[in-house]
């Protein structure tokens, strides 16, 4: 496989902004990309670093301790969702209650646990790396000021390979519905 990479830097008329154009060939396909390079201060304004809420940090650390203590290497996202929905003070719990009702959340949690027992998904990273990757993905896609528990529920639901996604989808709850509920609750 031949991979050829060429880059060209050219300056625009706007001060402190430069454009970086590169193309690479992979076999016969040629792809062009344009990247705009801004100064560091402007980048921080455009892509602010999202922080996790205190409650989310506590739940993630508790889930990591449970996973490490039990020697679990499967379905990290689903195990986090069980912890998120089990805590009645979280935004994720309120979102699912608004979409499925108070009785529905108990049934959904039971179905997720049953799905974990019947078909666990093997993870290839440590739990801490997995949750950090979920947070960074949320930061780049949604760019919230703070990542809440509902945002993590959205990330787990958006990933169609999780038991959570399949369970919530069977109850008519999609990732878009969760995102809409997040915007109305906050």
For residue range 8-52, list pLDDT tens digits in order. 434 444 444 444 444 444 444 444 444 444 444 444 444 445 688
Q: Which of 61, 183, 185, 68 is nearest to 126 (CA)?
A: 68
Residue 64 has pLDDT above 80, yes or no: yes
Its pTM surpasses 0.75:
no
Find the Cα–Cα–Cα–Cα dihedral 81, 86, 90, 91, rounded to 10°.
60
Model confidence over 66-110: pLDDT tens digits?
988 888 888 899 999 999 999 999 999 999 999 998 888 999 999
- Which two tokens mark 177? 């519905």
Residue 2, pLDDT > 70, answer: no
CB 146 within 8 A of CB 86: no
**Average pLDDT, integer, range 133-156:** 89
Query: Domain 51-185 in CATH: superfamily?
Result: Clp, N-terminal domain (1.10.1780.10)
How far is 165 from 169, CA to CA, in rounded Å? 6
Nearest Cα neighbor of 83 from 73, 74, 93 is: 93
What's residue 49's pLDDT? 53
Per-residue pLDDT reduced to its tens digit, 114-144: 998 887 788 888 888 888 888 888 888 888 8
Q: Per-domain residue ranges for the chain?
A: 3-46, 51-185
Chain centroid to Cα 3, Å, comes to 31
């Amino acid at each position: 496989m031949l991979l050829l990479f060429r880059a060209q830097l050219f300056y625009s008329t706007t001060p402190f902004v430069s454009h970086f154009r590169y193309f690479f060939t992979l076999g016969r396909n040629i792809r062009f990309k344009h990247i705009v390079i801004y100064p560091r201060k402007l980048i921080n304004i455009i892509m602010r670093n999202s922080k996790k809420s205190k409650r989310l940090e506590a739940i993630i650390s508790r889930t990591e301790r449970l996973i490490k203590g039990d020697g679990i290497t499967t379905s990290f996202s689903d195990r986090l969702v069980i912890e998120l929905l089990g805590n009645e003070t979280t935004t994720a719990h309120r979102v699912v209650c608004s979409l499925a009702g108070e009785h529905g959340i108990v049934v959904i949690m039971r179905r997720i646990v049953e799905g974990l027992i019947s078909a666990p998904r093997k993870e290839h990273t440590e739990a801490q790396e997995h949750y950090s990757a979920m947070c960074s993905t949320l930061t780049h896609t949604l760019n919230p000021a703070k990542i809440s528990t509902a945002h993590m529920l959205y990330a787990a639901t958006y990933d169609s390979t999780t038991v959570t996604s399949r369970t919530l989808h069977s109850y008519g709850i999609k990732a878009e519905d969760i995102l809409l509920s997040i915007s109305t609750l906050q």
